[in-house]
Amino acid sequence: MNLYFAGVLGGASRRWSLWALLVALLVGLLGLLVWLAGRYEASLVQDRLEHTAAEAVTDIRSGLTRNIQTFQALQSSERMPESWHLSAARLLRERREVLRLEWRDVAMETRGFVETPYHSAVFERLGRSSLQADVGLTCTTAARLSGAAYSRSYFMPQFDGMGMEVLDMCLPIMAAGRLSGYTVVTYALQDILGELVGKQVARGIGLSFTEADGTRLALYGAPLRGRQVYVAQQLLDLPGNTLVLRAENRLGTPALFPNVLTALVTAMALALLAVLFLLARDMRRRLKVEDDLGEALAFRKAMEDSLLTGLRARDLQGRITYVNPAFCNMLGLDAQQLLNQSMPSPYWPPELADDYQQRQEVRLAGNTLPREGHESVFMRQDGSRFPVLIMEAPLINAVGKHTGWMSTILDVSEQRRVEEVSRASQDRLQATARLAMVGEMASLLSHELNQPLAAISSYATGSLNLLQDALDSGAATSSDPHLSEDLQQAMRRIAEQAERAGKVIKSVHDFVRRRDKVRETVAPRVLLDAVMPLVSLQARKLGVRLVIEVDPACAPVLCDTIMVEQVLLNLSRNGMQAMQGADETPGAERAPRRGAKVLTLRIRPAASNARSQWVEFAVIDCGEGISEQVARQLFTPFFTTKAEGMGLGLSLCRTVIEQHGGFLGYEAVQPRGTIFTFTLPVAPRPDDLQEPSHGTD
């Protein structure tokens, strides 16, 4: 089991490692693709910015060249200062980048100048004379080049606390091939960027003039905010001066997906990642299901191996498809010897194989099988037979199809042995109980036969006394008819009591031999009259007055007359003895007269219900009653409060009444005394026994 789980965990670890490597490769590929796309987009942005900077330089050169042509045309058409001044003012209104236009002679003296109307005077604060040397140097260069020359840029502070970076351009004026003067133009670098560069070119970028060391001279426009700055620099090479044009762009941050192809590849990669995620989740679920299935199979295998009950599965043709170890151990055979075995099975006894074959064919032919078990006999490999209990049920697969039968086989040989031992023990126990009952019945005989035998002795003694008196008086028996009648009655009483003693012995004998009780229908008064001679005899001896109360509405009862008479006799005798003991108890209140000791025998209908009716017998005495200590053991066998008693009377009385289905109980009587009551069932009427049944066809 540990090796199995170790292998499962090792395989799962390798699979997860492969999945992790695949995901890492895909993530790396996607990241590399996005990075390369970003670099490509950055290169495109940089190229666009370089092209923009080149276009800006071209625009500036073109603008400056146009301005030179305009200034040459101005000098060639206007020779007088007044008209030149008007034309120059009109020209500066059109050229915003020009701050000052001057006309100088060969000696660098100013013949006229015009200031731009869009700015305050540039040289108002420092004056133009402070820059005369620089202007002269620039014009000397222009004369040598026979064309326009530009000075180095310089900063001009203004009265508002601000300033601007400007440069001068000097253009020689030629007349008839001779130098006649110079046109000096002062440019604002910032206005050059704003006016000469096309609006479409400068849109969204920042343009500035810088020196070679990166010092910014003028700035026009500002790039929008972005995460990365793209810079392009172009040289503006002018005669006499060289400026660096710097273009900045923050709008060109590459998009996450720079083109459609990259977006498609990225989308496919993301889809692949999603598919991999779904596959990983499905794999995780499958692994969990496999683990659960493996645990369930291992648990089921462990349960099947630990079962003591045999399991057997068969297909629709009766071939064995599965057996568990308990079934193999039960038969002493290996699983390979049982699997795929058809009928007759190797564990069938040869003498029962035909019967088993027919029974199995009938059983397998049916669509359903009863789920209750049936017993059979199997044979082990050594040839020994043993009984088994088989329970079979249809084998239904996961889709509800009947594929065979599943059987549970239980070896009941030990159970049969235990049952045999239990049966033998039960027989011995019953024999022992019968022996104990014989002893109890012997005690009952000695207890119950004492009264009729005592009565027989009394009648015999009386008869002898009568005979002796007759002999003593010399009178003949035949001559005294009264004496003859008394002797005959005495002898009849002796015969009745002897017959009664015989019936008691026979009843006890039948009880010990477990014969069916013979019950008969008898009137309750007849039961009472049968015991009255013995009860009256003892009542006279003990001085007890008898009171008989019999309800004429009482129906006949169904009972064993001899046993019920013994119950009445025993309860009556106990009641009279209880009253006798009350008079002899020290400290007890004595009766004022003899007639106070009264024993009442009462018979009346008991409470009835819808199922049965009962007759109640009651024996009421005026004795001292029953104490709580005595009441707890009153019906216990061999418990007695009498010196000469055996303690079996009340126990046997209750047993007899309960065998009749009745109940024997007692309760106290006020002011003193006890009442013992028992019930007997009313005998069924003949019309109840012969009531026709109402059945249906």
Tell me the per-residue pLDDT of 155-184, one tens digit each, with 9 for 90 and over: 888 877 788 899 999 999 988 788 889 999
Residues 495 and 105: their CA atoms lie apart, in Å, by 195
Q: Which fold has domain 311-411?
A: Beta-Lactamase (3.30.450)
Q: What is the mean pLDDT of the chain?
A: 78
Q: Can you read off the two tokens belonging to residue 425?
A: 């023990």
Per-residue confidence (pLDDT) for residue 594, from 0 to 100: 43
Per-residue confidence (pLDDT) for residue 692, from 0 to 100: 40
CA torsion sign for 184, 185, 189, 190 is: positive
Asked if 97 and 187 touch (Cβ cutoff 8 Å), the reply is yes
Residues 139 and 245: their CA atoms lie apart, in Å, by 25
In eight-state DSSP terms, residue 555 is P
Asked if 562 and 519 touch (Cβ cutoff 8 Å), the reply is no
- Token look-up 């596959």 returns 279
Distances (CA, A) of 216 to 54, 155, 249, 616: 18, 12, 16, 137
Residues 469 and 465: their CA atoms lie apart, in Å, by 6
Asked if 346 and 338 touch (Cβ cutoff 8 Å), the reply is yes
Residues 691 and 697: their CA atoms lie apart, in Å, by 19
Per-residue confidence (pLDDT) for residue 659, from 0 to 100: 84
Task: Tell me the three state secondary structure of residue 1.
Answer: coil
Decide which of 493 and 151 is more confident. Answer: 151
Residue range(s) occupied by CATH 3.30.565.10 in the chain: 518-687
Residue range(s) occupied by CATH 3.30.450.20 in the chain: 48-249, 311-411
Decide which of 575 and 517 is more confident. Answer: 575
Per-residue confidence (pLDDT) for residue 677, from 0 to 100: 92
Per-residue confidence (pLDDT) for residue 587, from 0 to 100: 43
- Token look-up 């002269």 returns 136
Residue range(s) occupied by CATH 1.10.287 in the chain: 424-516
Q: Can you read off the two tokens belonging to residue 236?
A: 């503006």
Q: Can you read off the two tokens belonging to residue 681?
A: 């069932």
Q: What is the DSSP string of 36-86?
A: HHHHHHHHHHHHHHHHHHHHHHHHHHHHHHHHHHHHHHHHHH--SHHHHHH
Residues 144 and 207: their CA atoms lie apart, in Å, by 32
Residues 322 and 152: their CA atoms lie apart, in Å, by 107
Residues 55 and 49: their CA atoms lie apart, in Å, by 10
Mean pLDDT on 258-264: 62
Mean pLDDT on 364-389: 74
Per-residue confidence (pLDDT) for residue 133, from 0 to 100: 85
Q: Can you read off the two tokens belonging to residue 531?
A: 């015991």
Per-residue confidence (pLDDT) for residue 678, from 0 to 100: 93
pTM above 0.85, yes or no: no
Per-residue confidence (pLDDT) for residue 66, from 0 to 100: 92
Per-residue confidence (pLDDT) for residue 110, from 0 to 100: 86
pLDDT digits (tens, 9 = 90+) for 476-488: 445 556 666 666 6
Q: What are phi and psi of 68, to 5 degrees?
A: -60, -45
For the domain spanning 48-249, the CATH number is 3.30.450.20
Query: Long-range pairs for 634-639 at CB < 8 Å and ≥24 separation?
Result: 634/666, 637/440
Residues 634 and 97: their CA atoms lie apart, in Å, by 142
Q: Which fold has domain 424-516?
A: Helix Hairpins (1.10.287)
Q: Where does the pLDDT of residue 693 fall: very low under 50, low under 70, confident under 90, or very high at 90 and above?
A: very low
For the domain spanning 518-687, the CATH number is 3.30.565.10
Residues 223 and 363: their CA atoms lie apart, in Å, by 96
- The neighbouring-strand residues paired with 379 are 385
Three-state secondary structure string covering 558-605: EECHHHHHHHHHHHHHHHHHHHHHHHHCCCCCCCCCHHHCEEEEEEEE
Q: What are phi and psi of 181, to 5 degrees?
A: 165, -170
Mean pLDDT on 294-304: 82
Whether omega for the bond prior to residue 671 falls within 30 degrees of 0, making it cis, is: yes
Residues 541 and 531: their CA atoms lie apart, in Å, by 16
- The neighbouring-strand residues paired with 389 are 375, 410
Residues 260 and 274: their CA atoms lie apart, in Å, by 20
CA torsion sign for 480, 483, 485, 491 is: negative
Mean pLDDT on 334-348: 78
Candidate from 97-111, 221-235, 547-561 with smallest mean pLDDT: 221-235
Decide which of 400 and 147 is more confident. Answer: 147
**Residue 366, class by beta-carbon neighbours within 10 Å (0-12 exposed, 13-18 middle, 19+ buried)?**
exposed
Decide which of 29 and 82 is more confident. Answer: 82
Residues 636 and 634: their CA atoms lie apart, in Å, by 6
pLDDT digits (tens, 9 = 90+) for 455-475: 776 777 777 677 667 666 665
Q: Can you read off the two tokens belonging to residue 643?
A: 């010196």
- Token look-up 């790396």 returns 28
Mean pLDDT on 32-51: 78
Distances (CA, A) of 8 to 1, 157, 287, 624: 11, 85, 9, 89
Three-state secondary structure string covering 201-226: HHCCCEEEEECCCCCEEEEECCCCCC
